[in-house]
Amino acid sequence: MAAKKKTRASAGGGDAAQAMRDSAQKIWLAGLGAFERAKSEGPKMFETLVSQGRGLSTKARDAADQALRAVREQAGDAQGKWDKLEQVFEDRVAKSLNRLGVLTKGEMNDLSRQVEELNANVRQMMRGGAAGKAKPARKAKSRAKAKKKKAAAKA
């Protein structure tokens, strides 16, 4: 009985080996067929793929341009909103500083200009005033001398 089992196993193994050989042969032949078909239809297939790629390329560019336009529009809207928010914030800060008595830049510039004008006027007055005061002082001294001479002459 042991001998019969051996023959069945070797007979079954032979069928499996033959089936594997047949399968490998079919795979090999399918590969050769695919190679031959790719070789003969390859240039046609390549041209087909290139033409399909051209069509998709223009569609992709159009979609990208449209998306870019949409992003730019939204960015412009966002910038406008940001500017408006910034202006509201600046106005509120300015009002708060005004309530506290803090001078604005414009008010500081006005005050600086006024101080410069006052300094210029004072300098001008001192130049003109020193010459004007010097003359009356001389006149007063000469008057005092004249009075002394008169008083000395009377005495």
Q: What is the domain partition of the chain in residue ranges?
A: 52-102, 103-143
pLDDT at 36: 82
Q: State phi, psi for 102 to the nearest 5 degrees.
A: -80, 130
Q: What percent of the chain is helix, strand and coil (3-state, nearest 5)?
A: 95, 0, 5
**Under 8 Å CB-to-CB from 103, ≥6 apart: which residues?**
111
Exposure of 89 in the CB half-sphere (CA atoms within 13 A): 6
Contact 71, 63 (CB under 8 A): no
On whether the pTM is more than 0.75, the answer is no
pLDDT at 106: 87
pLDDT (tens, 9 = 90+) of the chain, 155 residues, equals 455 555 554 555 678 889 999 999 999 888 888 888 878 887 887 788 888 888 888 888 888 899 988 888 888 888 888 888 889 988 898 888 888 888 888 889 999 999 999 999 999 999 986 555 545 545 555 565 555 565 555 54
pLDDT at 140: 52
Alpha carbon 145 to its chain centroid, in Å, reads 84
